[in-house]
Amino acid sequence: MKIFKLKIMSKILEGSRAIAETIKNINVGVVSAYPITPQTHIVEELAKLKADGQADFEYVKAESEFAAISILVGASAAGVRTYTATSAQGLLLMTEVLYNVAGMRLPIVMTDANRAVSAPINIWNDQQDAVTMRDAGWIMMFGEDIQEVCDLHVLAYKIAEKCLLPVMVNLDGFVLTHVVEPVTVPEMAEIKKYLPDFKLAEKLDVKNPLTLGAFATPAHYMEIRQELHDDLVASKNIMAKEMKEFKKVFGRLLTLVEYYGDQSAETVIIAMGSVLGTIKETVDEINNSTGGAHHGVPVQKVGVLKISCLRPFPVEEILKLIGDKKNIVVIDKSVSLGEEGTLAGEIRRVFYGRSKANITSVIMGLGGRDITKETILQAINLAKNRNDKAVFIGK
């Protein structure tokens, strides 16, 4: 009798645990964190891995999120690979230091388990926390499912250390952090093929003193900030290249943007994060229906554009994929208060002067409100209307 040995490629894991195992396999040197829902399970699992002897990083318990990221500033400046995770008010409490991290060009990687911000107090998911930090100088990526989130963390360290820029990997709180899915956690041996050991050319050393984040007068400040801006813009091409290298090692594709659905569609829905799963299912039902209307939506071909990177924003890639589309519906789980959906504003900028596309900003899911196929169908129904103001759906 021939005996076949099956290699188990994936595990059934909670999202937070999968992230923690990925961080362990990346072989970080210092983890510093302060617990906040719904991020807590990530740092709890990392603490457990350390306590059980399965990881040898230094685990520093901080008294606040501000302290956690500040601890990493020192560790990263000393040439150590670092990690932290946070959510909502925790991210906002870090604001001052987030700007410092980018300005000092420290390659720190952080997970943000996206959550609504106060007031009123709300612990459920939307993406308001992350988009508020879009101008802090960090590369910002968003994952659709647990597998992609784990893979993005590996990519994040490669990009951060190559570009000397910090990276924030975002995933929807609870929807992904607490859900259990099959996931292939990148193995340490695979990661080593892709991600070299971290070596900082200039680091804090008592024998060779240097200054980081020095005082800058008006004669120098602007040029320093422009250099940061230019390097953040240039990081997009480096990311695209490294995504191809990632596929060679791990066999999985990562993209800045991704088109899904009928290529001939005149209407396209744009979104970030886990909501894309529900959107794709809804679009499949519409595209596969025959004759009449589907749940009140006249039969039409619909496409989906997934945005995986908010900063730097993939302008050329978006135009290449949907620059000729007539109707665009942008579904945001955040709102630029007094204006419209945050992602919708970015899309209007992309299309301004380049296309006559009808762009509709739809706000859904704030504070954890359910996003269903029915609410997505409502959004599609708005596609051909001229809506200059944001439309809130799901009340």
Whether residue 253 is predicted with pLDDT greater than 60 in this model: the reply is yes
Residues 28, 57: contact at Cβ < 8 Å?
A: yes
Q: Once rounded to an integer, what is the mean pLDDT over residues 254-278?
A: 97
Residues 6+ apart with CB under 8 A from 91: 65, 98, 112, 129, 130, 132, 133
Q: What is the mean pLDDT of the chain?
A: 94
E-strand ranges in the chain read 11-14, 30-33, 58-61, 82-86, 109-114, 139-142, 167-172, 180-183, 257-261, 267-271, 293-294, 297-298, 302-307, 309-311, 327-332, 358-363, 391-392
Give the C-alpha separation, 63 to 46, whole Å: 17
- The stretch 296-304 carries a mean pLDDT of 75
Q: pLDDT at residue 3 above 70? A: no
Q: What are phi and psi of 380, to 5 degrees?
A: -65, -35
Q: Which residue has the higher pLDDT, 189 or 1?
A: 189
Q: Identify the bridge partners of residue 267 per DSSP, sorted by sequence position.
A: 302, 327
Kindly indicate the confidence band of residue 298, based on its pLDDT and cuts at 50, 70 and 90: low
Q: For 180, what's the count of Cα atoms within 13 Å in the CB-facing half-sphere?
A: 3
Q: Is the pLDDT of residue 150 over 70?
A: yes
pLDDT of residue 392: 96
CB-based contacts of 144, cutoff 8 Å, min separation 6: 273, 274, 276, 277, 306, 308
In the predicted structure, residue 395 carries a pLDDT above the cut 70: no
Percent above pLDDT 90 for the chain: 87
Number of neighbouring beta carbons within 10 Å of residue 13: 21
Q: Is the per-residue pLDDT at 17 higher than 70?
A: yes
Tell me the pLDDT tens digit for each residue of 331-365: 999 999 999 999 999 999 999 999 889 999 999 99
Q: For 193-212, how does the pLDDT look when each residue is reduced to its tens digit (9 = 90+)?
A: 999 999 888 788 888 888 88
180 bridge partner residues: 14
Terminal Cα distance for the chain, rounded: 62
pLDDT over threshold 90, residue 263: yes
**pLDDT band with cut points at 50, 70 and 90 for residue 290:** low
User: What pLDDT score does 385 carry?
Assistant: 82
- 94 with 41: CB under 8 angstroms? no
- What is the rounded distance in angstroms from the CA atom of residue 232 to the CA atom of residue 71? 24
CA nearest neighbour of 175 among 334, 377, 16 = 16
Residue type (1 letter), 332: D
Lowest mean pLDDT among 133-137, 203-207, 282-286: 203-207
31-67: pLDDT as tens digits: 999 999 999 999 999 999 999 999 999 999 999 999 9
For residues 123-147, average pLDDT? 98
94 contact partners, CB below 8 Å, separation of at least 6: 65, 66, 68, 69, 86
- Rounded Cα distance, 149 and 143, in Å: 5
Asked if pLDDT for residue 297 goes beyond 90, the answer is no
Domains and CATH numbers, the chain: 11-250 (3.40.50.970), 257-392 (3.40.50.920)
Q: Where does the pLDDT of residue 296 fall: very low under 50, low under 70, confident under 90, or very high at 90 and above?
A: low
